[in-house]
Every structure is written in structure tokens, then in C-alpha cells.
Chain A
Amino acid sequence: MADDVWQVAVFTLTMAVVATLVMLPPGIVLAWLFARHRFRGFTALETLVMLPLVIPPVATGLILLRLFGRRGLFGRVAESVGLEVIFTWKAVILAMAVMGLPLLVRAARGAFEQVDRRYEQIAASLGAGPLRIFFTVSLPMAGRGVLAGVLLAFSRAVGEFGATMMLAGNMPGSTRTIASGIYFYTEVGNDAAATSLMLASIVIAFGSLWFSNRLARP
């Protein structure tokens, strides 16, 4: 594998791992909320979180661009603290995290719903507070399903293209990922590099999906 192809693969994997870590806390909290609570605005929040699954990824990218651009709501805040997001590696992570989050939430929610509430009630009767119940009963018992969701979200992050292109571009060495690399190398007629990246993406996706499916099995 050529050096630049190798660099793109390693960069994509690193960004996908960081994006997965970034989406983990909000993903698990949202999954648990959706599984265990009904509140005002529940359906609206649920729909909002799942939206990236159904709208074109480039549309999600455009929304993020508007939000994190210089004149965007979060862009201005980021700029005021000297943080540059758009067209940097941070934008790659952001795009990957937003696109992977719905898959994590969906799988983890199913896993939390499978945990019999009885165990949480018993833990409460033994003196445990909500946080302790979550970390010692709900999360470990939903662990396999949550991990399956994490792997699914990671796979999605590795394969992310549309939102990343909109938000981070395709700059060699700083924002080029496997997906944008395949697109670029095909465009410029470098079939060997495009094929190498395609094979790398298949191996990574197959491995993580295989683990995810195994974990999701009861």
C-alpha cells in the first residue's frame, strides 16, 4: 500500500475511534432516556437524533456547516475561544459523530429496553441511587447491545462521506478519509490507490459489523 493511502487509512481509523468516543456519552444517555422515560418533546428529540439516518448526508453536512461556520451559532462560540472547526480534522470527527450517533442510540436503546426493570427496582430497594443503578445494573446488563451499537456507529464513521466532504473537505494529510480518498483517487484515475482504500474499508467494515452482529445475538 502506498504511503499516502496508508496514511489515509490510519487517519480515518483514528478519527473514527475519536468520533465514537465523542458520541458515546451523549449516545448512551439518549438511548437510556428513550428507553426508560417519556417526557415533553420526547418524539421531537427522538426524531431529531434519528434525522441523519434518513436525510442525505450532504444535507446533514450543510446543516453542520451552517451551525459551525464563522457566522453559525456554534461557529461564533468556537471562534471566540480560538477554536477552528470547519475544514480541519475536528470537522471530520464532528461529521462522523453526528452521522454515527443515530445508529448507536438505536442499538443501545434496544439493549436498555431489554433490561428487566425489576433489576433496577431491586437495586433501588437495596439503597442504590439512580446513577449507581445505571452504572452497576442497567449499563452492564445492556452491555452487549450497547457495544454492538458502538461498533455499528464506528463502522458508519469509517464509511462517512457526504457530511465529511461538506464540513471538512478533502485535504490530503489533514481531512482526507477513506471515503473521500476513494472518490478523489477515482476522479484522478489512480485506480490502484482507490482499490486499496476500497479494500481497506471493506476489511474494517466487515470486521466491526461481524463483531457487532455477534454481540447483538442473545
Chain B
Amino acid sequence: MSFSLTLEFTLQQGEFSVEIDERIEADAIALYGPSGAGKTTVLEAVAGLRQPERGRIAVGDRTLFGSDNGVDVPARHRCIGYVPQEVALFPHMNVRQNVTYGAHGAPMEDLARVLAVLDLEPLVERRVEQLSGGEQKRTAIARALMAGSRMLLLDEPLSALDVALQRRVMQYLVRVHDEFNIPMLYVSHRADEVLMLTDWVVQLDNGCVMASGPSKDILPRV
């Protein structure tokens, strides 16, 4: 499912600033670049967790932030599922409680489908501290999906995992993308992930866009 994303904003974060001016029509978009490039800052601005100084952020024709007309949709009304790099599952809840936190009376079939796609059924009663790194990532993805998200923001979902787990979680991400047909904005510093999961890449460095275009054209083959 192709979607359009407008990222035209300036965001100051202490000494560091991010300037981006992109209108993209794609299926899954990657923010690619080294650590400290500003990828997570852009993601958090889209999620509504950081407020740009000026500019516009829109998904399709829905403006989430617009300094010209004073629009700033609160994070809780953006309907954007955010999976942060550190996962941040609620430690006092089990898997089921985490996954259904933002579900707002979603039908049981939705929950069953999400749990099935991410192979979480056997884990639903487990507490967060009993989960492996990969299981925690899958739970966080399920939680974001169950929140009725119209878009998924994934911040380095394969970080802090060993190679075998990275491969498994990657398979789950491909499954989620195929099954739920949900637009994705994917942050990574690894070209192979970006090429496998996204069709458009915005390459960032030091808060500036270095390149933007189809993933296969921008990134060297891995």
C-alpha cells in the first residue's frame, strides 16, 4: 500500500538541528544514516514526541504538525504505532496487557491475528522480564499494531540482537508488512535491512538530507 509522507520541518535539539524537506510517495520508507544523524529525532517528530520549530508533517492529506496553521496533533491522537529502539515495554504488565494497552476495544479477532503473525500466543501470560530480546521486540511491534495504527514507526528494531535473532525478527517484520499492509517508516544504519524492507530511503547525516530516492538506487548492493 503506497502512502505519501510529508516531512518538511526544522527541529532544534540543543546544539543539534534537523532540517528535512521531503515529500515521499512510497510503500515503506527508511531513514538511513550513521548514529547521531537525526533519524530518531525525525521519527519522534512524526510520532508527536518532539515538536519542530516550524514546518509541516503530514501522512497522506492529514496534517499532524503545521506551524503555519497552528496544527499540532497530540501523540495520543496521531494513530501512529511507535516501536522505539529500547522497546520500552511496560515492565509491570505481561505480554497480553502490553499488546492490548492501546487496543481500545479492538475485536478479539484482531488480537488473535496479531498474536498469530508474530508468534506470540504461547507468551501472552509471560512477564516482560521473562522475554528474550527478540520476543520483546515482537511484543512491542504487536502493541503498536494493536493501537489501531495507520502507520508504523520502527526505530532500529534489530539493534541489540544477535545475528540469529536479527534474522528471525526481520522475517517477522516482512510478515507484518505483508499481512497488515501498513505503511512503515523504518530507521536503520544498516543498508541490508533497508534494502530488504523499504522501497524508498532518505539518507541523513548530521541532521541534513544527503540523498533521497528509491532504496535500490541510493544504497549500494549488499
B92 near A125 (CB under 8 angstroms)? no
Stretch from B16-24, B60-68, B79-87, B170-178 that touches the partner:
B79-87
Instruction: List B contacts of A122 (CB < 8 A).
Output: 82, 84, 88
Q: Report how far A13 CA is from B33 CA in the complex, Å.
A: 62
Stretch from A88-96, A126-134, A196-204 that touches the partner:
A126-134
Instruction: List A contacts of B148 (CB < 8 A).
Output: 127
A126 near B102 (CB under 8 angstroms)? yes
Contact with A along B76-112 (1 / 0, CB 8 A): 1111111010101011100000000110100000000
Q: Report how far A128 CA is from B104 CA in the complex, Å.
A: 9
Q: Does B187 contact A (CB under 8 A)?
A: no
Q: Report how far A60 CA is from B49 CA in the complex, Å.
A: 43
Which residue of A is nearest B92, CB measured?
A140
B90 near A125 (CB under 8 angstroms)? no
Instruction: List A contacts of B147 (CB < 8 A).
Output: 125-127
Q: Report how far A66 CA is from B102 CA in the complex, Å.
A: 50
Contacting residue for B82 out of A125, A129, A136, A137, CB 8 A: A125
A125 near B76 (CB under 8 angstroms)? yes
The total of chain B residues at the interface (CB under 8 A) is: 25
Q: Does A217 contact B (CB under 8 A)?
A: no
Q: Report how far A124 CA is from B79 CA in the complex, Å.
A: 10
Q: Does B143 contact A (CB under 8 A)?
A: yes
B91 near A141 (CB under 8 angstroms)? yes
A121 near B75 (CB under 8 angstroms)? yes
Q: Report how far A125 CA is from B148 CA in the complex, Å.
A: 11
How many whole Å from A127's CB to the nearest CB in chain B?
5
Q: Does A123 contact B (CB under 8 A)?
A: yes
24-81 of chain B: CB within 8 A of chain A:
47-49, 74-81
In this complex, the member of B76, B84, B91, B143 whose beta carbon has the largest number of chain A beta carbons within 10 angstroms is B76
Contacting residue for B102 out of A116, A118, A121, A127, CB 8 A: A127
How many whole Å from B185's CB to the nearest CB in chain A?
13
Q: Does A119 contact B (CB under 8 A)?
A: yes
131-147 of chain A: CB within 8 A of chain B:
136-137, 140-141, 143
B92 near A129 (CB under 8 angstroms)? no
A125 near B81 (CB under 8 angstroms)? yes
Instruction: List B contacts of A121 (CB < 8 A).
Output: 49, 75
B49 near A125 (CB under 8 angstroms)? yes
Q: Report how far A126 CA is from B148 CA in the complex, Å.
A: 9
Which residue of A is nearest B80, CB measured?
A125
Q: Report how far A122 CA is from B80 CA in the complex, Å.
A: 11
Contacting residue for B76 out of A116, A119, A128, CB 8 A: A128
Instruction: List B contacts of A118 (CB < 8 A).
Output: 84, 86, 88
Instruction: List B contacts of A127 (CB < 8 A).
Output: 76-77, 79, 102, 104, 147-148
A125 near B101 (CB under 8 angstroms)? no
Instruction: List B contacts of A116 (CB < 8 A).
Output: 88
A125 near B75 (CB under 8 angstroms)? yes
A-B contact pairs, 10 of them (CB 8 A): A124-B75, A124-B76, A125-B48, A125-B75, A125-B76, A125-B81, A125-B82, A126-B143, A127-B148, A141-B90
Interface positions of B (Cβ within 8 A of A): 47-49, 74-82, 84, 86, 88, 90-92, 101-102, 104, 143-144, 147-148
Interface positions of A (Cβ within 8 A of B): 116, 118-119, 121-129, 136-137, 140-141, 143
Q: Which 3 interchain pairs have the tightest Cβ spacing?
A: A126-B102, A124-B75, A125-B82
Contacts A125-B80, A128-B102, A140-B92 supplied; 6 other A-B pairs, CB < 8 Å: A121-B49, A124-B75, A124-B76, A125-B47, A126-B81, A136-B101
